[in-house]
Amino acid sequence: MSINLHSASEYDTSYKLIQLTPELLDIIQDPAQNNQLRFKSLDEDKSEVVLCSHDKTWVLKQRKHSNTVLLMKEFVPEEPISFDETQLFGLSKPYMDILSFAKTESEFETREAEGQLNLDAVPMYDGELDFRERAMKKSSTRIFETLEELLENSPCSAVEGVSKWHKIGGSVKDGVLCILSQNFLSKALHVLLMSVMAESLDLQRLQIDDTYQAVGKDIENEFNPYTKEIIRTVLNKFAVQEQQSQEETWRLRIPFIAQWYGIQALRKYVSGTSMPLDEFLIKWKSLFPPFFPCDIDVEMLRGYHFKPTDKTIQYVARSTLPTDPKERFRVLFKLQSQWNLEDIKPLIEELNIRGMKIDSFIMKYARRKRLGKKTVVTSR
């Protein structure tokens, strides 16, 4: 089998070649999915271009190479082509003609990555009365009014974007897309829990309307920042929506809520100073609404504290730790000379950008050894 190859092409930068992984090829060939593929970037200048499906994101990286890639198509020559059959070296006669119409010296590789939300134009809401007016005055760019607008302008898939939006406490207030501040989110959660418990609502089957009415009962004659959208935001962050239910219902994530209160307790009571562990547990428990049904354990707070001694605890903010792995380990061992493996992992995992096994990553900067049933990590 042979073909005739013809070339009359020059380098043409208008063509962009993309390597397709088997997964991307399946999406392109599936009519139900291929119309959702989008190219996106944060801006028109230096940001990376990404390719997004309904639920995944791929970063495009341009790779130049020394070989020339020809773009070819089948064609019919204007005049029949004659050739010497002795030059076929035993192959059959060419059965088709292919023309190279362009050539390029680079192509784009696709690498699956985590999609990101473009939050540059999304303001923070802290419960203020004149929020929309302030947001419009402060903004030097456009204001998003819906989540769909934000997703369209963010380098991420729709599924990733919605998940991240719920995780960061994204909401809508007075027609402006916003993020609830940590302070206001904590207040809203506390008010919600107090209200639904006072009304004896089922914590495993909460509904928006019932929850909203319960929250509004005690603040009917006051400014009420807890709109239905705010209630929905709190439930999306601290509860799980039941997919099999005919009605929209949410089941509270009790352990996650307990952890949230624990982190607030760390920041409030042991930020910059330590406290006996037993005393801290009492203060942690005191922050919950009365009779809130949950268990607490200091292990819930891994990644947010260290222990100056075996019986004391103190808050550590990851944002204040060095981003260089060697320096971070040095600082962590200065705070605490010996760490249980499970306690130090959340504080260093984000630095393992090459995806090494966590034990191998730790061994690059520290020592690990067995003490009974536990694995401990110490400095070199």
Domain shared by 236 and 137, yes or no:
yes
Mark whether 226 and 246 lie in a shared domain: yes
Establish if 301 belongs to a structural domain: no
Task: For residue 351, give the amino acid letter.
Answer: L
Q: Is there a contact between 115 and 150 (Cβ–Cβ < 8 Å)? A: no
How many domains would you assign to the chain? 3
Count of Cβ atoms closer than 10 Å to residue 102 Cβ:
16
pLDDT digits (tens, 9 = 90+) for 20-64: 899 999 999 998 888 889 999 866 666 788 999 999 999 999 888
Is residue 86 located within the same domain as residue 136?
no
Are 128 and 246 in a shared domain? Answer: yes
Residue 178: enclosing H or E segment and its boundaries? Answer: strand 176-180
Q: Kindly state whether residues 210 and 325 are assigned to the same domain.
A: no
CB 293 within 8 A of CB 202: no
Query: Which helix or strand (DSSP H or E) is residue 129 part of?
Result: none
Task: Give the chain's largest Cα–Cα span.
Answer: 99
pLDDT attached to residue 155: 93
Percent of the chain, pLDDT > 90? 64
Is residue 309 domain-resident? no
- What is the predicted pLDDT for the residue at 143? 87
The answer on 177 and 88 residing in a single domain is no
Q: What is the pLDDT of residue 86?
A: 66
Q: What is the CATH number of the domain that holds 334?
A: 3.90.1150
**Cβ proximity of 59 and 21 under 8 Å:** no
Lowest mean pLDDT among 171-175, 332-336, 356-360: 356-360
pLDDT value of position 380:
86
| Residue 305, in any domain of the structure | no
pLDDT at 148: 95
Phi then psi for 126, rounded to 5 degrees? -120, 20
Helix, strand or coil for residue 75?
Answer: coil
Neighbouring residues of 69: CB distance < 8 A, sequence distance ≥ 6: 17, 103, 104, 105, 107
Do 12 and 99 reside in the same domain of the chain?
Answer: yes
Predicted pLDDT at 353: 84
Looking at this protein, which amino acid is placed at residue 350? E
Sign of the CA dihedral with 173 first, then 179, 185, and 189 last: positive
Domain range for 196 is 124-254
Give the list of residues 6+ apart from residue 108 with CB closer than 8 angstroms, or none: 16, 17, 18, 19, 60, 61, 62, 63
Identify the three-state secondary structure at position 123. coil
Q: Assess whether 247 and 128 both reside in one domain.
A: yes
Q: Decide which of 232, 254, 276 is a domain's last residue.
A: 254
Instruction: Judge whether 14 lies within some domain.
Output: yes
**What pLDDT, on the 0 to 100 scale, is given for residue 104?**
83
Q: What is the structure's pLDDT at 90?
A: 65
Question: What is the value of pTM for the model shown?
Answer: 0.84
pLDDT of residue 70: 80
In three-state secondary structure terms, 252 is strand
Whether residue 124 is predicted with pLDDT greater than 90 in this model: the reply is: yes
DSSP letter for each residue of 194-240: HHHHHTT--TTSB-HHHHHHHHHGGGTTS-----HHHHHHHHHHHEE
Q: Each residue of 131-148: pLDDT tens digit?
A: 988 888 876 667 899 999
Phi-psi region of 97 (alpha: psi -120 to 50; beta: other; left: phi over 0): beta
pLDDT of residue 46: 61
Q: Is residue 289 a part of any domain in this protein?
A: no
Q: Could you give the 3-state DSSP secondary structure of residue 244? A: coil
Q: Do 142 and 102 share a structural domain?
A: no
Question: In the structure encoding, which two tokens stand for residue 331, read together?
Answer: 């600082």
Among 168-172, 254-258, 322-326, 373-377, the minimum mean pLDDT is found in 373-377
Three-state secondary-structure class, residue 179 = strand
**Residue range 5-15: average pLDDT?**
75
Q: Which of 228, 254, 280 is the last residue of a domain?
A: 254
The answer to the question of residue 17 being in a domain is: yes
Return the DSSP state at 298. G
Return the structure tokens found at 354. 């090459």
Band (115; pLDDT cuts 50, 70, 90) = very high
C-alpha triplet 282, 300, 320: angle, nearest 5°: 95
pLDDT tens digits along 202-253: 999 999 999 999 999 877 777 889 999 999 999 999 999 987 767 899 999 9
Buried b (16+ CB within 10 A) or exposed e, 324-349: ebeebbeebbeebeebbeebbbebbe
Q: Are residues 142 and 227 in the same domain?
A: yes
CA dist., res. 206 & res. 201, Å (int):
7
Reported as a pLDDT band with limits 50, 70 and 90, residue 256 is very high
Based on the domain organization, do 185 and 240 belong to the same domain? yes
pLDDT in tens, 297-340: 999 999 999 999 999 999 999 999 999 999 999 999 999 999 99
Secondary structure string (H, E, C) spanning 82-115: CCCHHHHCCCCCCCCEEEEEEEEEEEEEEEEECC
- The answer to whether position 283 is within a domain reads no
Domain boundary among 233, 254, 275: 254
State the pLDDT at residue 132. 87
Q: Do 199 and 85 belong to one domain?
A: no
Residue at 199 is within a domain: yes
HSE, CB side, 13 Å, CA atoms: give it for residue 95: 4
In 3-state terms, the chain is what percent helix, strand and coil (to 5)? 35, 25, 40
